[in-house]
Structure 1
Amino acid sequence: MSDARRRPPSSTDVAALAGVSQKTVSRVLNGEPYVSEEVRERVLAAARELGYRRNTAARALHLGRFHRIGVASIGSSLYGPSSLLVALERQAREIGYAFAVAYAGEGAGVMSAVESLLAQGVDAIVVSDPIDGSQELRIDADVPVLSFRPIPGPRVVVTGVSGVEAGRQATEHLLGLGHATVWHVAGPHRWPAARDRARGWREALAAAGAPEPPAREGDWSPASGYAAGRVLAADPRVTAVFAANDDMAIGVLRALAEAGRAVPEEVSVVGMDDIPAAAYLSPPLTTIRQDFEAIARHGLALLAAEIERSPGQAALGDLPAHLVVRRSTAPPAKP
């Protein structure tokens, strides 16, 4: 076999097969404008037929870009963080970026993951999971950083669904049905998301002049919701519960059922996340939906725009929380 046959296909080969110039091939593969859709498709088809792969390292040296987004993740299997990670990877591909993940523990481990990604060569960083709030985190990277809660840093972009607004909506829904107050099964306090949702719950109670019952802390699991639910089920004053995620709400529902307290006739329950099973529980669960695809799409659009900007300009863009009303909530029973 000749050397010509053994060598990998080049952009020159793609140009010859597509019947265009090398500059046009470069424009198409770099996602530049001023190329017709017909020509773009012809070039991409030729690249696929030849099995052409760009030399990413050489392209990075030429453009000063790696066309890769790094994600610092604590590797949680919980529905919210894992769904967001999948959505981020899908959206990164949609906008033409490779995707690199560095896993870390909570707290200071996030900075180790960020440093690892910067050493690999990335154009931007996403801090995808909650961080231990006991440590003051600051990311002084010279690339844009997307976070889902405010953190200090020169090029930090913040977006996502406000946990405070979500907690407020859930609580206001239950108060609006006529419940005197709302009990809360909170997530672990070290997670900022849990603290934000609890804050929204407290603010809604205060605004309505409703008493604030003691919150019970879980660990996001159904088992912890069940443990909290057993305590709540034994208290006849409890008529409404907001659980900080759907998994804990499922545990609360099980505990109430075992105690013979009907949902929603005696106790109304609201969760958060709108997991796929939520609509098929008995009764179907009222919850706050987070649209992870929309969060990823919005966040990466902001991040891609920030890559083009000079340091020092941060963008802020909260997405709305959506209350999904199902049959686990109702007005309280009349005495």
Structure 2
Amino acid sequence: MADVAAVAGVSGQTVSRVVNDSPRVDPATRSRVEAAMAELGYRPHRAARALRTGRTQTIGLVVSTLATVGNSRMLQAVADAAAARGYALTVVTLGAAPDVASAYERLTEQGVDGAVVLNEATAAARGTAPPRGLRLVVVDAPPDTQGAGVVQSDHAGGARVATAHLLGLGHDTVHHLAGPADSFAAAERERGWREALAAAGRPAPGLVRGDWTAASAHSAAARLVADTSVTAVFAANDQSALGTIRAFSDAGRSVPADVSVVGFDDVADAAHYRPPLTTVRQDFDRLGELAVEALVAGIEDGSAGFHAVPTSLVVRESTAPPPAG
């Protein structure tokens, strides 16, 4: 670091500020220091910096599973955002028998500065206090989650827009293939669906429930397929929409000529479903950025804020007016 300071013509303290990404360095000086670091092949020593600052520049991610598309996309978003801020990332999955206390213990042993608790893992985390000093940000949880920052998509708002879109096409009502009962995101999407129906003066029909997978939705949708009055379905995610479309196709009912289907997430392949899927887009990149920003703020000053990320409807070819007659 002293060599870098000499080459750049600055103090050792200025080099330290650049290494630690302090805002208290003007852009020209930062560029000069970074050029000197590159010239000398200087790389910050993470262990030494941890001894000096008490921070490892490492954050954890607690996730129930990485098998779902939403969770894997959030992992990528958090990893990218952490790397952009100079943080390493360590991941702990809960598996079939969620044990958040054990996950917290493992992260603490690895010396992380804080952790992001992702989606379905937030349900398991309720009522489990983190170890003293471990800052948390939870993704998709109630705003008043005690002691943690919260980042969430506007699930209810997205569901309201999706349901209103189907009603606006002329469907008498909209059926819902919901996600898992213990999922905050699924509950919020169900709430938005119910609110949109109530605002239109329509009673909510009985819902069916899956587990986010296309296979479970294909099985659960059998109840909807059996009812020939069903002309519109809002599915809790895009995989559920895919299973729903297949179930109706297996029964000889076409999407969207006979039944309209809307999903949620806007996965990368949604535009290539047959038909291309109308869906609610989540901004996973922004969720990851905000989760890391909120966690770093909590690590640095103890803050625990709330951030909501808007969703948007993407209309494609899986929705249309109901069949005549």
Contact 2:257 2:322 in 1 (8 A): yes
User: What letter is aligned with 2:136?
Assistant: V
Distance in 2, Cα, partners of 1:135 & 1:58: 32
Gaps of 5+ in 1: 1-10
Q: Tell me, what secondary structure is at the counterpart of 1:248?
A: helix
Q: Distance in 1 between matches of 2:112 and 2:146?
A: 17
CA distance change for structure 1 residues 277 and 261 in 2, over 3 Å: closer, same or farther? Answer: same
Q: Displacement of 1:264 after TM fit?
A: 1.5
2:306 equivalent in structure 1 = 316
Q: TM-score, normalised by structure 1?
A: 0.87
- Contact preservation (8 Å) 2:100, 2:124: no
Q: Secondary structure at the match of 2:137?
A: strand
Question: 1:181 and 2:173 equivalent?
Answer: yes
**Partner in structure 1 of residue 212 of structure 2:** 220
1:113 aligns with 2:103: yes
Displacement after TM superposition at 1:127 (Å):
0.2
- Provide closer, same or farther for how the CA distance between residues 133 and 211 of structure 1 changes in structure 2, counting only shifts above 3 A: same
**For residues 14-29 of structure 1, what are the structure 2 equivalents within 5 Å?**
14-29=4-19
The AA in structure 2 aligned to 1:331 is P
Shift of 1:13: 3.4
Q: Which has the larger radius of gyration?
A: 1
- Which one-letter code corresponds to 2:65 in the other structure? G
Q: State the partner residue of 1:243.
A: 235
What corresponds to 1:147 in structure 2?
138
Q: Structure 1 stretches (4+) deviating beyond 6 angstroms?
A: none
Match of 1:162 in 2: 154
Match of residue 72 from structure 1? 62
Query: By how many angstroms is 1:184 displaced?
Result: 1.2
Find the counterpart in structure 2 of residue 257 from structure 1.
Answer: 249
1:20 Cα offset (Å): 4.0
Counterpart of 2:108 in 1: which secondary structure? helix
Q: Does 1:55 align with 2:39?
A: no
Kindly tell me: are residues 173 and 87 of structure 1, through their superposed partners in 2, closer, same or farther at Cα, counting changes over 3 Å?
Answer: same
- CA–CA distance in 2 between the matches of 1:72 and 1:206? 36
Alignment equivalent of 1:208, drawn from 191, 200, 206 = 200
Q: Output the CA distance in 1 between the equivalents of 2:146 and 2:177.
A: 36
The residue that corresponds to 1:302 in the other structure is 294
**Deviations 1:83-111 (Å, cap 9, x if unpaired)?**
00110010011122222222223675122
Distance 2:163 2:97 in 1: 30
Give, in angstroms, the shift of residue 19 of structure 1: 4.7
Question: 1:292 & 1:32 partners in 2: Cα distance?
Answer: 27
CA distance in 2, matches of 1:152, 1:47: 44
SS of 1:113's equivalent in the other structure is helix
Q: CA RMSD in A?
A: 2.4
TM-score for the superposition, normalised by structure 2: 0.90
Q: CA deviation at 1:17?
A: 4.4
Per-residue CA distance 1:233-261 (angstroms, 9 max, x = gap): 23211000011110111111122223222
